[in-house]
Structure formats: structure tokens, C-alpha cells
Amino acid sequence: MKAVLCTKYGSPEVLLLKEVEKPTPGDNEVLIKIFATAVTASDIFIRSSDIPLQFRIPMRIMLGITKPRNPIIGLVLAGEIESIGKNVKRFKTGDQVYGLTGLGMGAYAEYKCMKETDSMHGCLAIKPGNITYEEATVAAYGGLLAFQYMEKGNIQPGQNVLIYGASGTSGTMAIQFAKFLGAKVTAVCSTSNLDLVKSLGADSVIDYTKVDVIDSGAQYDFILDAVGKIKTSKLKVACKNALATVGKYVSIDDGNLLLDSNRLAFVKELIEAGHIKPVIDKCYKFEDIVEAHRYVGKGHKKGGVVIKIR
């Protein structure tokens, strides 16, 4: 099968498309024929290892000291179950699935074996029936990230919610989830994304390239920082200061992403009911994955960036 190998940490050019052996599922595994994967913010961190020292050391202990232990990286997949091991109960051949591969990585390939149960090595669920495999990769990564951190807000109808970093993979999902919960949503992004976030339901928008103070009267019940802790600004500080006394501020970097197939099943329900639609920025061919990494590495994707494998 074809797979993209990352044989050392470095620039996008370390990624090489190669022919490798097709995996065979164990008794508790399913073999997924991958139709689409995604290039996520996490893939960029893993490939480049270009992150602050305090995160880099634990990350390398987990993933590999001088190079990724599994040379096939990639965290997100959507595809079809081609075969199953004899103990598998949750899935059957032909099921269309989507999920994350976690520490197991391996989604930059034509096939991947995964356990049917959730673990640090991934979670898998039936894909929403009304979206493409490409859209499903955005829903899996953005949905898991956004929903995990939004749930911490216990958002009630009518509450004021601010999403900082609203135009990225998790931000675009977070806006729609907050609207589904009945919140009034303020979205923060740069000028070229204002129309996008409005189209997803944002009631008001703030352009972080033009504004670095906000009305001190604005009281937010919940703020999701969907950009992460590394990227900060005067405006982000101003947003924090506009939190209501009993409001909650949550960064998407607070803790680890939980690989939870129940949450994926919930994302599926909301998508099938028409409450949420994944946003795709660009879709690349498998052989153009280096270009996709260059683009995502700039940090300004709108929704998700997808790789079509077949």
C-alpha cells in the first residue's frame, strides 16, 4: 500500500510517499480502507517537533526520541471497514467509519488496523451518513476538540459565549455547537474570515488584526480559546478581562484530547440532524501532502485541510 513516512523530525520535506506492506488485522482489530485523512495542527507539531522545550521532551518520550516511532504519522481518518478480526463486535465489513488514531498515528496510509475499543491509540465510530469522507476528517478532529472543551462550559440558552480563534478546525465546530446550545456567540478571527464565521451563525465578530480592546461592559459567560496557549495577544487578555464574574475561560490546550467514540457518535447525531456542518478549507491529493503541511504550518487554515487518499 502507499503511505507517507516521516523518517525524522523536521520541515514538511521530511515526508516521503513510499510503498509499504499492507497491515493485517489482529483478532480484536478492524482493517480500515482509508479514503481521507487530514493535516491537523497536531500533525504539524509532531512532524516538526517545533514546540516549546517543556512540551517537546514529553512528546518525544511518547512518540519517539529522534524520529516518530511509527514512521507513518497522521491522526485522523475516514474510510470503510475492509475486514475484521474474529473477536470484533462493534463493527462489520463495509461500515463507513471515522476517527482518530492517537498515539498509534498511521493515518497517512491507504490502510490502517485499529482496535474497536477506545484507547490512547485511537477511537472509531460510524461516520455521519450525510457528509463525505473528507468532511468526516474535519468533524472527527474539530468535533472531538471543540466538544470536549465546550462541554466544560455547561452552556445554557441565552448565555454569551466568545470563541477566540473561531475560523480554525475546532473554532468552526465550536461556533456551531454553541449556537446549537442556544448561546449568543461572538467570534474572534482575522479580517478574511469574518464572513465565514458569520455564515456559521456567529451573532457578532471581532477582528483581532484591527481591535485590541473590547467593550469592558461585554460580559461573557464562557470563553473558549480555540487557538491554544502559545498564540496570545492584547485582545486575548482583554477578552479574559470581559469574563462575567461567574464565567469560565477554557483553553483548548488545557489537558489532553480525549479519544472518545461516544463523543464521535454525538457529533454524528448533530451533523445528521443538520445542526453542524464541517468546513473544508483545501483538499490535497495524497502525493501533495508536503504542500498541505506547508500550508497548515502557516497557522491560518479555515476549517480543516484534507488529504484525499482514494
- Residues at the contact surface with ligand NAP, assessed by CB under 6 A: 40-42, 145, 165-171, 189-190, 193, 208, 226-228, 231, 233, 252-253, 255-257, 299-301
- Max CA separation in the chain (angstroms): 61
Question: Exposed, middle or buried, 117 (CB in 10 Å: 0-12/13-18/19+)?
Answer: middle
The least CB distance from residue 28 to ligand NAP, in Å, is 26
Task: Tell me the C-alpha distance between 142 and 175, whole Å.
Answer: 11
Residue 275 or 300: the one with the smaller Cβ distance to ligand NAP is 300
Amino acid at 149: Y
What is the nearest approach in angstroms of ligand NAP to the Cβ of residue 206? 10
Q: Which is nearer to ligand NAP, 49 or 88 (CB)?
A: 49
Q: What is the residue type of 138?
A: V
Q: What value, to the nearest 5°, has the Cα angle with vertex 9 and ends 6 and 14?
A: 50
| Cα gap 131→264, rounded to integer Å | 14
Q: Smallest gap, in angstroms, from Cβ of residue 86 to ligand NAP?
A: 34
Name the residue with the smallest CB distance to ligand NAP.
168
Give me the least distance between CB of 257 and ligand NAP, in Å please: 3
Q: How far is the CB of 224 from ligand NAP (least distance, A)?
A: 10
CA 68/CA 46 separation, integer angstroms: 8
Nearer to ligand NAP, 111 or 141 (CB): 141
Q: Which is nearer to ligand NAP, 222 or 295 (CB)?
A: 295
Q: Between 293 and 301, whose beta carbon lies closer to ligand NAP?
A: 301
Bridge-based pairing state of the strands 204-207 and 184-189: parallel
